[in-house]
Amino acid sequence: MFIRKQKHQIPGLNTTSTADISFMLLIFFLVTTSMDVDKGLRRQLPPAQPKTTQQESIVDKDKLLELSITADNVVMQNGHKIRLQDLQVKVEDFIMRLGKEHLITIKTAPESTYDAYFQLQHCLMAAYKEVRTKWAQQHFGHSFDDCSDSERQTVIEHCPQRIAETYQDMGGGTSR
């Protein structure tokens, strides 16, 4: 009699449950993690080290609006204390009166809070938006938000954002 050798088959691994768990973990991480949405104000930060020396330009004081935030988070306009509600109207009038020739400078004390700085920036952006909306309404008959791309570009050319910020160097001097 011949004895027949039986081949032993190795059972395959059951990966169904592993795939299910991996899929559930993937879904869990997709649901629980949040995607950061870019919010905020578009600003170009100063270079880490200036490549060229910047020349100071002479600006007529009548065309300059100096804003500053003190260490106590008090907003000052040309050296006088002002509320943010009043500042927006003054900035709108200033921009409308001078058009492209205006310049707004912001000086911030290093001890001031980011919230005070952000509120000032928000006030300025609201003033610019209001001025641009008024200009678009006068020239195109509709608001800035309803303008086409070419109309927006025209409005921006006539009402540019001209804001200069000074910041503290590590050495204690100011730079622009």
Give the pLDDT score at 146: 87
| Separation CA 138–CA 132 (nearest Å) | 10
| Domain limits, the chain | 62-175
- Checking if the pLDDT of 176 tops 50, the result is no
pLDDT greater than 60 at residue 173? no
Q: Is the pTM of this model over 0.85?
A: no
69-75 long-range CB contacts below 8 Å, 24 or more apart? 69/106, 69/107, 69/108, 69/109, 69/112, 69/116, 69/117, 69/120, 70/109, 70/112, 71/109, 71/110, 71/111, 71/112, 72/112, 73/112, 73/113, 73/115, 73/116, 75/116, 75/120
Q: Whole-angstrom Cα distance, residue 111 to residue 71?
A: 5
Share above pLDDT 70 across residues of the chain, in percent, rounded to a whole number: 80
Determine how β-strand 163-168 pairs with β-strand 103-108.
parallel
Query: Which pLDDT score, from 0 to 100, does residue 172 have?
Result: 45
Read off the pLDDT band of 93 (50, 70, 90): very high
pLDDT in tens, 22-55: 999 999 988 888 777 666 666 665 566 656 666 6
Please tell me the predicted confidence (pLDDT) of residue 88: 92
Question: Mean per-residue pLDDT for 164-176?
Answer: 56
Tell me: pLDDT of 71 over 70.
yes
What's the DSSP call for residue 162?
Answer: -
Rounded-to-10 torsion of CA 170, 123, 118, 62: 0
**pLDDT band per the 50, 70, 90 thresholds, residue 174:** very low
